[in-house]
Amino acid sequence: MIKIAMTGVYVDDVRKAHAFYTDVLGFETRNNIDLGHDLFVTVGAAGAQQDVELLLEPGGNPIAQNYTRALREAGLPCIVFSVDDLRAEYERLTGLGVTFTAPPTEQGPVLSAVLDDTVGNLIQLAQPMQP
């Protein structure tokens, strides 16, 4: 069986991303290793999914810059996170000053919203709709 162990998002500033993803979004730090020239930082869902990590990948290289710019210009999120109560999470995050490019909106079987992660990406939050 193959499982997802780690996926990543390119970020403009790893330290700033780490603070946003932990202090604002509520993820926990899994790794924070100083490599001298860069940081290796992973986060994950607090208290859950210990075998799944999100790498906050330095995005200073041309490939990452082109990729993140193209996604952003198209208005596309780079990753989707699930939430149990999107409306409550939207209120909590807007109260913390998070900018949303799309408020909670029903999209077929999910309620979704899109936020700016402050380090170059759009992130989609999704909650499955109850039948």
Please state the rounded mean pLDDT for residues 16-40.
96
What does the pLDDT read at residue 130? 79
What does the pLDDT read at residue 27? 97
CB of 47 closer than 8 Å to CB of 97: no
Residue 2: pLDDT over 90? yes
pLDDT confidence band for 49 (50 / 70 / 90):
confident
Please state the rounded mean pLDDT for residues 6-31.
97
pLDDT confidence band for 57 (50 / 70 / 90):
very high
E strand or H helix at 108: none
Residue 50: pLDDT over 80? yes
CB of 52 closer than 8 Å to CB of 42: no
User: Dihedral, CA atoms, 57, 13, 82, 113, nearest 10 degrees?
Assistant: -130
Structure-block tokens of residue 53? 């990590």
Neighbours of 60 (CB within 10 A): 13
Assign domain 6-128 to a CATH class. Answer: alpha beta
Q: What single string gives the DSSP state of each residue in 23-87?
A: IIT--EEEEEEE-SSSEEEEEE-TTS-TT-EEEEEE--SHHHHHHHHHHHHHT--SEEEE-S-HH
Percent over 70 (pLDDT), the chain = 99
CB of 117 closer than 8 Å to CB of 123: yes
Q: Where are the domains of the chain?
A: 6-128
What does the pLDDT read at residue 48? 86
pLDDT confidence band for 15 (50 / 70 / 90):
very high
pLDDT confidence band for 106 (50 / 70 / 90):
very high
Residues near 38 by beta carbon (within 8 Å), at least 6 away in sequence: 14, 58
